[in-house]
Amino acid sequence: MGTSTLESAIFEFAELTCNLPDRELERDWVWQDYDEGVRFAFFRNYEDLSALAARLEVERPVPFSEAQRILAQYHAAYRDLQALLLGIDDELALQEPAEGEWPLRSVLVHFVQAECTFFAIVYYTLERQRSADSRPLEMPDEAWEAFWAGDPFEQLKEKGRFSELLAYYDQLHNRILEAFSGISSNELDLPVVFWESSPMPVRFRLHRFDSHMRQHTIQIQKTLDVLARRPNEARRLLRLIYNALAKVESARFGAEETGEKDCQALAAQLVALTREIERILSK
């Protein structure tokens, strides 16, 4: 249950509403004294998630670490990307916005591959420090191969459907959050060897998860604009909701038991709201 159930509830609402024409948001729906139509249901979800996030941040039994705050920024970028890609099918994902420019699938493959690299080299750096062994500073090829043994990304990169790549990326993202949530303040200064002329600290590499994704999220938005898939109002509203969901989830980093019952209760409420809106839209 908890935020995983909350995530499922939001995804269900998004699946129902992401392709609604703007005029459908005018359908009658009333909440207490607010008679603003189906559109207001999006704001109710956003408001309830935002309120829960604020409460959970206060109720945390331990303060956020710097690493957890960096990961929260990365997680917000990830949820924003998910909202942007709602309903994108394989046909659209393979269309080039212009001759020689990357289709959406190629953009996704690129930054997932980049995050695989970021993940492996930071994980190696941390394990090297924590074990205090004699491993070299730069991750050797055999360590890389052992780290990714059995991982399906190389096969998915070549032949996987867009939905399969997104599912893989979701698992990778959660692995990264789990692996790095416990990074200490001292470990943020550890040097990580990559392509740059000199090692960069773990702190920099963690921030690159966020900024690199933001860079390509902008690229994806520009591609969708060229392909005449500019977001409708519902998709714009869903990006707000996904941002609020990220805040709830981030409030629990390193304090996973915080707000468990509240998350379950809100998930049930969101599912009930989705069923209500579904009945209205089916008339």
Once rounded to an integer, what is the mean pLDDT over residues 65-70?
A: 97
Can you tell me whether residue 34 is helix, strand or coil?
A: strand
Dump pLDDT digits (tens) for 76-88: 999 999 999 998 9
Query: In the chain, where does DSSP find H-type helix?
Result: 2-17, 39-59, 66-84, 90-93, 104-131, 141-147, 153-159, 162-180, 202-226, 233-250, 260-281
Q: How far apart are CA 49 and CA 205, in angstroms?
A: 30
- For residue 3, the model assigns a pLDDT of 56
Which tokens in the block code for residue 264?
């379950």
Cα atoms in the Cβ-side hemisphere of radius 13 Å centred on 254: 19
- Residues 32, 151: contact at Cβ < 8 Å? no
Would the pTM of this model clear 0.75, i.e. be above it?
yes
Once rounded to an integer, what is the mean pLDDT over residues 46-65?
A: 96
- The fraction of the chain above a pLDDT of 90, given in percent, is 93
Once rounded to an integer, what is the mean pLDDT over residues 263-272?
A: 96
- For residue 274, the model assigns a pLDDT of 98
Q: Strand 200-201 relative to strand 191-192: parallel, antiparallel, unpaired?
A: antiparallel
- For residue 228, the model assigns a pLDDT of 87
Q: Tokens 């408001």 identify what position?
A: 47
> Is residue 235 pLDDT above 90, yes or no?
yes
CB atoms within 10 A of CB 57: 17
**Distance from the first to the final alpha carbon of the chain:** 32
> Is residue 2 pLDDT above 50, yes or no?
no
Dump pLDDT digits (tens) for 236-254: 999 999 999 999 999 999 9
Cα–Cα distances (Å) from 269 to 18, 39, 115, in that order, read 19, 17, 35
Question: Hey, where are the domains in the chain?
Answer: 2-281
- For residue 4, the model assigns a pLDDT of 80
Q: How far apart are CA 259 and CA 241, in angstroms?
A: 19
- Residues 95, 227: contact at Cβ < 8 Å? yes
Fold exhibited by the domain 2-281:
Four Helix Bundle (Hemerythrin (Met), subunit A) (1.20.120)
Largest CA distance in the chain: 68
